Structure 1
Amino acid sequence: MPDQFSIRRDAYITYLCGLENALRSDDRRRVSEARRVLARLRQSFVEGRQYQAYEIVFQNDPPQGDGSEPETWLLVGGLFSLHPLNWRSGGGARSFGASLGSLQKKLGSPVVDRRLTQLLAKDKQTLPHYLRQTIRLLSAHDIPVRYERLLSDLLVLLGRDHRGDRASRVRLTWAQEYYTLASAKPAKGQDQPPTDSLETSQ
């Protein structure tokens, strides 16, 4: 049974995904409101203007825990605002490494390999900067991100255990899913991963 922290985290991601769905709405007011909220979340990356995103994050009631959780929610909200495309496929690879693996499958570029290496090597102070760069790259190529998994992983990588065994397992999973997808052979007649691997909600 999920604990209260997990329920609140899931509800926050559901809220963000609601913004994604609203962008596709035929209702102009819903589209306009979603754009307004995403614009405020993007301010989380602007020095001196982060306060514009605080209301959105704190209205969703992040657990306090060791103090890093609200900050991580703010980061994930900002990342989502740059690339509101959630990966909602069924089972299989789901980590941020899987998104990068899909990108590498599409581009076949050493740039993507370097991005993965950078992400795996960075500490909690510098990781957010490289995540933002990587999100922009994924956005440019319409590669979705499973944000619920990203939030869960970043709570480890940016939290109290950022140098512990749990963080090591997160990095290992990112690398494993990256290389699994990046090296997978496409099905006959396909030049990139099957579309159900990148399925998104309409």
Structure 2
Amino acid sequence: MTDQELQERQERFITELLREAANLSAAENHLVHQARKRLAELRRGVGRPYPAPAAYDLVLQYDPPEAQEQAWLLTAGLFALHPMKEASGSRSLGSSLGQLHGVGATEARLRQLATVDQARLPHYLRQAVQLLRSHDVGIDYLRLLRDLCVLTNPKVDTHKLRLRWVRDYYRTVHARTGNSSAKGNTA
């Protein structure tokens, strides 16, 4: 499979998730019911060793590379927790969290995501997505999927990606506050 084909599959997969979210407000009650049921099944699988069968059904129809299946399953579950796409697009998880700078444990969540081992990553991602959901901050799920494909690849040094999330967080904070320092310190 070429990189282009993989990117197209990823885009179709995210489009399918967005279609499920759109069905939550459909005029037909059966579509609303099906979407609620499917998203609930996807949510139950986040952070568990074996996601719900509905997650496998959804993911495997797009035939991701075997090495990326866990990233796709995790993305589906995280989407089901917060089925809202970031309108501006191409915003990393770090940028989304940067929108909440100063709110509760946002920086702690970011630090955890930057340092946690791969086995506990789904747990901390779930907490971060729930925090974003509670403040209606969207996520670019296509970008998250692609990031998770990197983070779940044992052959890749994930430090660069995690550092990018931290960098994106502080860039967003700086852009929002107009300060050169996220903490407001002056030199």
Task: Give the TM-score taking structure 2 as reference length.
Answer: 0.84
The CA deviation string for residues 6-26 of structure 1, in whole angstroms up to 9 with x for no partner, is 111111111111111121222
Alpha-carbon shift at residue 5 of structure 1 (Å):
1.2
C-alpha contact (below 8 Å) 1:42/1:53 kept by paired residues: no
Partner of residue 156, structure 1 = 150
Aligned residues: 176
Partner of residue 86, structure 2 = 87
Alpha-carbon shift at residue 59 of structure 1 (Å):
2.1
Partner of residue 60, structure 1 = 62
RMSD: 2.2
C-alpha contact (below 8 Å) 2:70/2:152 kept by paired residues: no
C-alpha contact (below 8 Å) 1:25/1:31 kept by paired residues: yes
The reply to whether residue 123 of structure 1 matches residue 117 of structure 2 is: yes
Q: Which runs of 5+ in 2 are unaligned?
A: 179-187
Alpha-carbon shift at residue 172 of structure 1 (Å):
2.1
Partner of residue 182, structure 2 = none
Q: Which runs of 5+ in 1 are unaligned?
A: 188-202
- What residue identity is the alignment partner of 1:119? L
C-alpha contact (below 8 Å) 1:22/1:31 kept by paired residues: yes
The reply to whether residue 100 of structure 1 matches residue 97 of structure 2 is: yes
The reply to whether residue 12 of structure 1 matches residue 13 of structure 2 is: yes
Task: Give the TM-score taking structure 1 as reference length.
Answer: 0.79
Alignment identity in percent? 39
Partner of residue 181, structure 2 = none
Alpha-carbon shift at residue 133 of structure 1 (Å):
1.0
Q: C-alpha distance in 2, partners of 1:139/1:110?
A: 14
Q: C-alpha distance in 2, partners of 1:127/1:41?
A: 17
